[in-house]
Structure 1
Amino acid sequence: MAKRREIVVVGGGVIGLSCAYYLSREGHAVRVIEAGAEKDLSASFGNLGMVVPSHCMPLAAPGVLWQGIKWMTNPESPFYLRPRASLPLASWAFRFWRASSKQRAERAAPHVLALNLASAAAYRELAAELGGFGFEQRGLLMLSESREGHQHELAGAAKANAWGLDAAGVPAVELSSTELAELEPGVDFKVAGAVLYPSDAHLDPAALMARLRDALQTRDVEITYGAKAALTADGDTVSVKVGSETITPSHVVLAAGSWSAALAKQVGIELPLEPGKGYSLTLPGPPLPLRTPSILTEARVAITPFKGALRIGGTMELAGFDEDIGARRVKGIMDSSLRALPGLDRAELAKARPWHGFRPLSPDGMPYLGRGRSHKNLIIAAGHAMMGLSTAPISGKIVADLVADRAEGAAARLLFSGLYDPERYSK
């Protein structure tokens, strides 16, 4: 058992609660401070619930920026960057462009894959410990509407296999139309090709959050919702201020998602993050007997079956913390889904209430994960982009290793590449 320490986790989303779970499991006194309401934790509750080792290429990858620029002229496209006079956005975009090289992306991909495979294994353990959050390893279907799109996906699958899926015994495989029909006999697909990633899994994110919260409460972890935290520094020590209370714990874990940048700035750390807004629609029923989570590759639309529901979501909208619902973006999600899955009902889709959340995007597409160099008691776990839910448990395990000074711990060893350095953009 590690030495008992007092720890404050700033952020009560899936990353923050996962950190609190593994820290409290080791006997630490943990308190979680969350600015939002319990029922609405931004990118945690309404996401697609996918655990995706297959998605190991960082967001900052070759061709992504130029494709994004092309999509900007289409109001229903998967990507939109709202032009605005913002020095932080301009700096972020420049850094994104610099990071989007083939050499850098392919150096990072095997490390991202290792992180995701370790997290999938951690989810299997967590399902055995907690249960009740619908974890299933049924794989992921990548569905392409065009032959060109399918060939592009096959090339990506070959790389993912070489980077580690083959070695892990879960290589991606191309499915014929007959094999796709055998896998999903009750679903009519209008696609040109399919690739199955057996490595991947899915779960119910709202149920996961509830189970984590319940487990923390049994360990006497205090979770405070609707409380805005501020960070202060005295030399190399960080304190947390909540209202009139100031706490100086042995460790502060910054896990506030897209809001982590502003908090880090309070103690002199540059943590470039842009909130990437995504949407989802949840259909009760479910309206299709789909069993395998799927992604439409060209439209970047994801579809996840849950018990009694089907969730469809997508888009990446860089417009700051804009809470407005982009009706044309939502329409693009619906239209793409209906083309590939004609068994869906447009009227039912139109009745679904759009949900949105903000993914925390770093310029190089890599999380900020590790100890801060400037402050001895600060650990950062933020900037996970679309991998937040996918890598939550391994992030929690890494934080627990760092608090216990287990630099050689199985989880902490995943940081040895240096790619996750939380102060890589600080001067």
Structure 2
Amino acid sequence: MSKTVIVIGGGIIGLCSAYYLHKEGHQVTVIDKSNMDSGASHVNAGYITPSHFISLASPGTLSKGIKWMFNSKSPLYIKPRLDLEFLKWSWAFKKSATPSKVEKAIKPLLDINLLSRELYEDLHQSGDFNFHYEKKGLLMCYKTDKVGEEEWEVGKRGIQEGLKVEHLSQNEVSKLEPKANLNIKGAVYYHSDAHMTPNNFMEEMIAYLKKCGVSIIKNEEVVDFEMDNQNISEVITSTQQLSCDEVVLATGSWSPIISKKLGLKLLVQAGKGYSINIRKDTNIRVPAILCEAKVAVTPMNGFTRFAGTMELSGINHRVNPARVKAIAEASAKYYSQLNITSEEKVKAKCGLRPCSPDGLPYIGKTSKYKNLTIATGHAMMGWSLGPATGKLISDVISDNKPVVSLSDFHPERTF
């Protein structure tokens, strides 16, 4: 049965939700308070990452953040602040960062990543799109034996889970990247991963949805809701009221603000990331993560992107030059001939990634409202998990059996 669905949020999660809802025959409207041409969905590393099956909330992460709190160039920065929501999130993160919970998260994270990669490939081959998509794998490059051993332990676990993973020497990496001049000891190579150019996909998806009759409302903020018993009957924006049968909340780092209007408490913190685009040829052909520096490197359509940092400093879009400089300097230590200029650093952009306390996204219905579905909290895997989340949201609203279990992603799970 066709329903009128309002998707709040026009990032990768919201657009993919709209796509699969439209495919199921629903009447869809996407609302976003921005112009839908910036933010995390546009400045991310563009990875599709089955390799990322270890959750962000892993043992030692919080203690590293505290240790690095006063280091302006650290890969992880936690701004100290007396904010009740942040303190609740931090406590939930600490409780989630145990070996048993990390272990429990491996299968759901891997399953949803593999589903998303399959769906991206379906979209790419559908004939409806022409976006950049390549499956060249991902190199986890390391400079020290200690980090190399840690990465290979994860790699071996990936092999147990059915992924093709190799431990490569420096010479073996050089065969994959003969002109990149990598200054490393070796790399763990995941054949499973793919990469894209985010802007490219976002523009095509918006154009496709418009062509199909999906209503896209930009620069309009959702300010309130009209309720009828356990249903949301209207979404109220800054200029109009829209009736609906179903509502999808895909508002990323702003989800706690919007959910409060509905009397819900979503533990989400904004994790700011930065990216620098280099338009000259870097000779980099295979995506890589520079492990010690936590920098992601992606050869995109017409440029190479260097992305990094996880800055938990609340909702703001201030670009910290020290962090941009840290990404550039770290990258040059791994790629010997790389030179990121001052002009390129000045043009760096940032985006806010919505982080749940346990590193798993929130996907599914709430008990308070019969017609509200949540889709947020994807942290650094938002791009990777876009199509899978959209498909699962569509399954929930269409009363189809979800392709993967949603139990681990329940929005009202306890930490």
**TM tier, smaller:** over 0.9
- Tell me what 1:420 maps to: 409
SS at match of 1:45: helix
Where 1:55 maps in the other structure, the secondary structure is: coil
Residue 4 of structure 1 aligns to which amino acid in structure 2?
A: S
The whole-number CA distance in structure 1 between the counterparts of 2:113 and 2:298 is 19
Contact 2:269 2:354 in 1 (8 A): yes
Shift of 1:112: 0.4
Mapped contact 1:114–1:414 kept (Cα < 8 A): no
Mapped partners of 1:112, 1:231: distance in 2: 33
1:209 maps onto 2:209 in alignment:
no
* 1:11-26 equivalent positions in 2, closer than 5 A: 11-26=9-24
Work out the CA distance in 2 between the residues paired with 1:352 and 1:290: 22
Per the alignment, residue 365 of structure 1 pairs with 359
Structure 1 ranges of 4+ moved more than 3 A: 348-352
SS in 1 for 2:292: coil
Shift of 1:321: 1.4
The alpha carbon displacement at 1:414 in A equals 2.7
C-alpha distance in structure 2 between counterparts of 1:222 and 1:252, whole Å: 14
* 1:57 and 2:54 matched: yes
1:150 counterpart residue number: 148
For 1:414, what is the secondary structure of its paired residue? coil
Structure 2 counterpart of 1:319: 313
Partner of 1:38: 36
Contact kept? 1:272, 1:425, Cα under 8 Å: no
Where does the alignment leave 5 or more consecutive residues of structure 1 unmatched?
none
Within the candidate set 235, 241, 244, 2:229 is matched to: 235
- Are residue 270 (structure 1) and residue 265 (structure 2) matched? yes
Superposition deviation, residue 365 in structure 1: 1.2
Contact 1:37 1:226 in 2 (8 A): yes
Q: Please identify, of 63-72 and 100-109, the stretch whose mean Cα deviation from structure 2 is larger.
A: 63-72
1:342 deviates by 1.3
CA contact (8 A) 2:173 2:186 kept: no
Question: Which position in structure 2 is the counterpart of 1:28?
Answer: 26
Give the superposition deviation at 1:231: 4.1
Rounded to whole Å, the distance in 2 between the matches of 1:113 and 1:282 is: 29
The one-character-per-residue Cα deviations of 1:14-35 (angstroms, maximum 9, x if unpaired) are 1000000111112211000001
The answer to whether residue 277 in structure 2 is matched with residue 282 in structure 1 is: yes
Specify which of 149, 159, 165 is matched with residue 161 of structure 1: 159
- CA drift at 1:177: 2.0
Map of 2:175 onto structure 1: 182
Task: Describe the SS at the equivalent of 1:419.
Answer: helix
Q: How far apart, in 2, do the equivalents of 1:349 and 1:192 lie?
A: 31
The answer for the alignment partner of 1:140 in structure 2 is: 138
Deviation of 1:351 (Å): 4.8
1:218, 1:346 → 2: CA distance? 40
CA shift digits 1:50-94 (9 cap, x unpaired):
111101111111111112222223210101111112111111111
- Residue 243 of structure 1: how far off its partner (Å): 2.7
AA of the residue aligned to 1:422? P
The whole-number CA distance in structure 1 between the counterparts of 2:342 and 2:179 is 19
| Closer/same/farther in 2, CA of residues 421 and 187 from structure 1, 3 Å limit | same
Is 1:381 the counterpart of 2:379 in the alignment?
A: no
Measured after TM superposition, the shift of residue 425 of structure 1 is 5.0
- CA RMSD in angstroms, aligned pairs only: 1.5
| Alignment TM-score, normalising by the size of structure 2 | 0.96
**Cα distance in 1 between the residues matched to 2:97 and 2:362:** 17
In 1, distance between residues paired with 2:375 and 2:340? 39
Q: Which residue of 1 aligns with 2:296?
A: 302
Q: Distance in 2 between matches of 1:176 and 1:36?
A: 46
- Once residues 345 and 272 of structure 2 are traced to their aligned partners in structure 1, the CA distance between those partners, rounded to angstroms, is 21
- What is the rounded CA distance, in whole Å, between the counterparts of 2:238 and 2:340 in structure 1? 47
Q: Which residue pairs with 1:398 in the alignment? A: 392
